[in-house]
Chain A
Amino acid sequence: MVATPESLPLPAAHEEPRFRTCASTGLKIHLAAQTLIKANAVTAVVFLAIGGLFGLLVALTRWPAVHLLPADWFYLVLTAHGLDVLLLWIIFFEIAILYFASAVLLGSRIAAPRVAWAAYALMLIGGLITNVAVLQGGSTVMFTSYTPMMAAPNFYLGLIIFAVGALVALGVFFGTLVVARDERTYEGSVPLVTFGAITAAIIAVFTLASGAIILIPTYLWSLGLISMPDPLTYKLIWWGMGHSSQQINVSAHVSIWYLIAAVVLGAKPLSEKVSRMAFFLYILFLQLASAHHLMVEPGLSSEWKVFNTSYAMYLAVLGSMIHGMTVPGAIEAAQRANGYDKGLFGWLRHAPWGNPAFAGMFLSLIMFGFIGGISGVVLGTEQINLIMHNTIYVPGHFHGTVVAGTTLAFMAGTWLLLPLIFQREIIWPRIARWQPYIFAIGAGGISLFMMGAGTLGVARRHWDITFADASMSFSYPPAAFLMMGLNGICALFAATGGIMYILTVVATVLWGKRIADGQAVQLASPKARVVTEYGSIEHPKIPGTIILTVIFFVAFVLYYYVNWKYLAEVWPMR
């Protein structure tokens, strides 16, 4: 459902902002902000539905026994898949999160609702223009659209309009921070979740500016007005967008982890200072890792590559490892305080696994760390990158981050957004309850099996792994075919989980039972209001988390060295 102009409650000029009070958190919610959150979130879900369908078609084509689409359609659909899920689903949802974390969590009015609607319109129009351009067939340039490949002018134009719209939305977010401060809707420091959203927004400014900067000359080139942008410069600046946008995702989904822990369990951060410093590391260093996409480009020095990917990236990874420990730590401490204090893992066994917001969040945390995170460090190391570069290991890695991590976290967040912001009870609670598990199996599976196939050399973005019409024949080991088949099976799980999510969300928005203004929300803890406060938990006890962290490090170190060993085998010195 896309909001139509008549249904938008635009305030007349000078009208006083209207608020309601949330019974679960005590927050004052600006109604104009609430409608904007709804519109952006619903649009995001629509693009996930479209893009997810394309993803399934791609996976079914890469399943050798099915090989669904013909070659030209495969590349077209792959282009549309990357675009719809990575840019449109994720960024629309992130804008919803930013408005939530500013206006709602700070109890403030949103700075300029009309401007925010203009931003929404630009994003939507831009997204539609690019989608149409791709589906018309003249823009099968993959989501990265490297020059010298040329797409139809509208492909670039749509992306530029989308990026400008999103930049305007970021302006509204920063404006709302100023409004909240000036109108003193909060005291002292902003809550941690808002701080994480600020981190995401800062990274987004660099991201979208890079995108607009490189796509504008590319657009002019496609119109025949200027000569072709230099391919290496294009790649450099494009990845300023392509990579950094993944870092918006990380900051946003880490904020969602903290949010869900606070709302569902009343968990306070272990240490505000430590968590904020971890976000600060993101602000400083995360975007530099864009360089890992240029690892094998000649023309850029090793100093530049190694500085930007190793030294700087490890500081950013440190930030993620801090969050990876403090989020479960906060959950453990809260659970122990709630009375689940038995043994090392009693807190985990008695966690609310039937609450889809919690289950989705915890699965996202585990899979982001173990699958996406570890493989990311491996790929980001200049030397070992070479054994996986441009294989399907790469999509395996980033489905571990952006699907098993970000998408699952956003889905989990949605289960709270529905009662808190849409004020609707989830219409099919049993489907919602199973959804995170089904989706997690699928998302984790496609990540692992694509990584497995990549280790065996299978290329990414490749229609026919049998090389049937190649003049020189080549065959992958049979295990590679098995991996791609298992990937296809897991894609069916992921798609099932995705459909469960989309149908339940849409039906809830349309027909869910309304929750009256003063009524508390079932999925939220009575202590949910800690989400709006600054303050760490006192004397936390987290032995279980420490064990989990040790397991993570052992897995990390082992896997890292296994890959150096593989590298050594590529060049046997005898």
Chain B
Amino acid sequence: MSNQEHTNERVPVMQRVLDNPFLLLFLGVTMPTVLYIIWGIIEIAQIPVAP
């Protein structure tokens, strides 16, 4: 609210990222899905089955 006067100025890139909740949602779901879940499942799938 206090930066009303600045709305015509160019908003810095990082602030634009942080102002976009859906971009943040995408990042916040993709990161753990890829690095934690998918990578983890790939490793589990590679465990050889006991004979």
Which residues of A approach B to under 8 Å, CB–CB? 174, 177, 186-190, 195, 198-199, 202-203, 205-206, 209-210, 230, 232-233, 236-237, 240, 244, 273, 276-277, 280, 283-285, 287-288, 290-291, 294, 299-301, 304, 307-308, 312, 532-535
Contacts and interface: CB of A to CB of B under 8 A. Distances in A.
A199 B21 CA distance: 9
A285 B31 contact: yes
A308 B39 CA distance: 10
A240 B1 contact: no
Nearest to A239: B36
Given A195-B18, A288-B36, A236 B4 contact: no
Given A283-B24, A533-B1, A206 B33 contact: yes
Interface of B: 1-4, 6-7, 14-15, 18-19, 21-22, 24-25, 27-29, 31-33, 35-37, 39-41, 43-44, 47
A257 B7 CA distance: 29
B3 A189 contact: yes
Main SS class of interface, A: helix
Given A195-B18, A304-B40, 6 more contacts: A199-B28, A283-B24, A283-B31, A288-B31, A300-B44, A301-B43
B24 to A, nearest CB: 6
Contacts of B43: 299-301, 304
Given A186-B1, A299-B44, A534-B2, A276 B18 contact: yes
A288 B35 contact: yes
26 contacts: A174-B21, A186-B1, A187-B1, A187-B3, A187-B4, A188-B1, A188-B4, A188-B7, A199-B28, A202-B21, A206-B33, A233-B41, A240-B36, A244-B32, A280-B24, A283-B27, A283-B28, A283-B31, A284-B28, A287-B32, A287-B36, A291-B36, A299-B44, A304-B39, A533-B2, A535-B3
Contacts of A312: 35
A312 B36 CA distance: 11
A202 B29 contact: yes
A287 B40 contact: no
Nearest to A535: B2
A299 B36 contact: no
A277 B7 CA distance: 21
A231 B11 CA distance: 49
A299 B28 contact: no
A233 B44 contact: yes
Contacts of B1: 186-188, 532-534
Contacts of A284: 27-28, 31
Given A187-B7, A244-B32, A236 B25 contact: no
Nearest to B3: A188
User: Closest 3 A-B residue pairs measured CB to CB?
Assistant: A202-B28, A287-B32, A283-B28
A359 B22 CA distance: 35
A2 to B, nearest CB: 31
A509 B14 CA distance: 43
Contact of A198 (B4, B21, B31, B35): B21
A291 B37 CA distance: 9
Among B21, B36, B44, find the residue whose CB has the most chain A CB atoms closer than 10 A: B36
Contacts of A187: 1, 3-4, 7
A201 to B, nearest CB: 8
